[in-house]
Amino acid sequence: MTDGSNALEAALARLECEQIMMRSMTNIDGRRSDLNLEYFTEDAHFGARGAANADVTGLEALRVVSEKRDARPERNTLSVVAGFDFQWISSDEAEARGNFVRWVGENPAPELERWLGRFVRVDGSWKLREMLTEPFPPAAPFSDDAT
């Protein structure tokens, strides 16, 4: 491939991955978390530190966590994805990180979270292989962060 086609491929990958993050937050806020399962690989890992405190692997485990979250009547949220630092690793692998600002229930103070998503291309579509979230400020950085 030429450099120009790599740049175009990376830009298209970024758009698709960014849409996954935006749509997943909209689905969570709308209590439709089950729709997010299509954005994950079969063996995906989801790790959330803090209030969510989840550490699950596989679509079935993600389904259970999603159903429990959506069933909680007090779990009304409004989420904003703030920042999207994208790194295209290869034509089949990418990583992105950023922040969430989330209002929960009637609490006027927003929750702040950092996130890290590891994406892979599966059958031509980008999916999350791993999604990690943690409250901000974090108790410790993500395990592979150098910062």
The pLDDT tens digits for 41-82 are: 999 999 988 656 689 999 999 999 899 889 988 778 899 998
- Residue 1: what pLDDT? 43
CA distance 25 to 77: 9
Nearest to 138 by CA among 110, 107, 114: 114
Nearest to 92 by CA among 4, 2, 16: 16
Query: Residue 145 domain-assigned?
Result: no
The number of folded domains in the chain is 1
CATH code assigned at 95: 3.10.450.50
- Residue 72: what pLDDT? 85
CA distance 130 to 29: 21
pLDDT digits (tens, 9 = 90+) for 71-128: 988 778 899 998 899 999 999 999 999 999 988 887 778 889 999 999 999 999 999 9
- Residue 105: what pLDDT? 80
What range does the domain containing 38 cover? 3-135
Query: Residue 143 domain-assigned?
Result: no
**Band of the pLDDT at 5, cuts 50, 70, 90?**
confident
pTM for the full predicted model? 0.86
- Residue 147: what pLDDT? 41
Query: Residue 141 domain-assigned?
Result: no
Higher pLDDT, 6 or 16: 16
CA distance 23 to 44: 18
